[in-house]
Amino acid sequence: MLRGSIVALVTPFTQQGNVDFNALEELVNWHIEAGTDGIVAMGTTGESATMSHDEHIMVVGAVAEIAAGRIMVIAGNGSNATSEAVMLTERMGHLPISGFLNVNPYYNKPSLRGLVEHYKACAAASELPQLLYNVPGRTGYDLLPEQVAELAKIPNIVGIKEATGDVSRVAVLQEYCGDEFILLSGDDITGCEFMLQGGHGVISVTANVMPAKMKAMVTAATTGDIATATALDQEMQPVHDAMFVQANPIPVKWALAKMGKVEPFYRLPMTEPELPQQQHIEQTLQQAGLI
C-alpha cells in the first residue's frame, strides 16, 4: 500500500473557474485503465493552495467515489497552519481513501519541536496512514533525515515523498527509519535512480501525461530490472524536463490540454505558460508521440 506509480493528479477547471467533474472522472478512469497504482488528489499539482476547504474535500471525495476501490486514493491534507491541516484531516478521514500526503508547513520554517508537534497533531486527527512530503523548493524548509527519523516513530506516519532530487537520501533514510518506512520520489528527473537505490515508487507529475510508461518504469525499477527501467526513463526525460519549464502545474496542465484531456484553465495566480514554454511543451509532446 502507498507504493508504486502514483500520479499527482491535476484538478481540471471549467472556463468559469469551477471544478470540471466530468473531466476529473475521465482522468481517474484513464489512470485506472493505464495501470497507475494510486492517485494523489489535492496536492500541489491539483492546485490545492487555490481551493476553498469545501472544494478541496469535494474533489477528494469525488476522486474516491469515481475510483470506487479500483485504485488507491491519497488525499493532500497539508497546510502551513496546523489547525487547518488537522481540520482537513478530520473532515476527510471518513472518505474511502488509503491515506494522506502531508506537506511540510510552508513559509513558517518551524523549529524541530514545532514540526514534530505539527505532524503529531495531524497524525492524531485520523488513524489513516500519512506520508510526509519534503519539497524545500515549495516550502522553504528541508525536512532532514534526522527529523524524518523522529517523525517515523509516530505509528501512522508510514513514509515520505522526498522531492529534493538527492538520491543519496534513500540509503540514509533506510538506515534511520528502517526498511518498512515507505520512500517515494517526488522528483521525476531522478525518480528512476531513487528507486534503483531502494525507493518504493514515485508520486509523479509526468504520470499525468504518460501513465502507462511511468507504471512500466516503476515496475522495472522496483523489481531490479535496471536495463528496462533505465531505457524507459531515458525516453521520458525530455517530458520530465518539459513538465518543469515553469512552476508546476502550469506545464503539465497545458500538456493535458494539448492532449485533449482537460481545458487549459487555471486558478490565479497560476496562468497558462508563456509562448516559448507553450511551444517547447508542444514540441516535446509531439516528439514523444503524445499528440
For 201-225, write each residue's pLDDT tens digit: 999 999 999 999 999 999 999 999 9
Query: What is the domain extent for residue 222?
Result: 4-233
C-alpha distances in angstroms, 61 versus 8, 51, 111, 161?
16, 14, 33, 22
Q: Is residue 164 part of a domain?
A: yes
CA distance 38 to 50: 23
Is the pLDDT at 106 greater than 90? The verdict is: no
Question: CB–CB of 35/270 below 8 Å?
Answer: no
CATH number for the domain that contains residue 38: 3.20.20.70
pLDDT value at position 286? Answer: 97
Count of all residues that appear for the chain in the document: 291
CA angle 102, 103, 105 (to 5 degrees): 115
pLDDT value at position 35? Answer: 98
Please say if 161 is a catalytic residue.
yes
Catalytic residue among 133, 213, 215, 258: 133
How many Cα atoms within 13 Å fall on the side-chain side of residue 28?
27
For 254-277, write each residue's pLDDT tens digit: 999 999 999 999 999 999 999 999
CA trace torsion 219, 222, 227, 233 (10° rounding): 70
- Look up the pTM and report it: 0.96
Question: CB–CB of 146/170 below 8 Å?
Answer: no
The whole-angstrom distance between residue 223's C-alpha and the CA centroid of its chain comes to 22
Q: Is residue 37 part of a domain?
A: yes
**Average pLDDT of 35-46?**
97
Number of structural domains (the chain) is 1
Residues 44, 84, 152, 74, CA torsion sign:
negative
Q: Is residue 269 part of a domain?
A: no
Q: Strand pairing partners for 183?
A: 160
Question: CB–CB of 10/256 below 8 Å?
Answer: yes
Annotated binding residues, written as ranges, equal: 45, 203
For 144-157, write each residue's pLDDT tens digit: 999 999 999 999 99
b (16+ CB within 10 A) / e for 53-89: eebbbebbbbbbebbeeebbbbbbbbbbebeebbbbb
Q: How does residue 50 score in pLDDT terms, banded at 50, 70 and 90?
A: very high
Please say if 215 is a catalytic residue.
no
User: Largest Cα–Cα distance in the chain?
Assistant: 50
Annotated binding residues for pyruvate, written as ranges, equal: 45, 203
Give me the chain's average pLDDT, please: 96
Share of the chain above pLDDT 70, in %: 100
Q: Is residue 118 part of a domain?
A: yes
Q: Is residue 41 part of a domain?
A: yes
Is the pLDDT at 3 greater than 90? The verdict is: yes
In this structure, the number of other CB atoms found within 10 A of the CB of residue 275 comes to 8
Q: Is residue 266 part of a domain?
A: no
C-alpha distances in angstroms, 160 versus 135, 150, 191, 244?
10, 13, 14, 21
Catalytic residue among 141, 161, 253, 258: 161
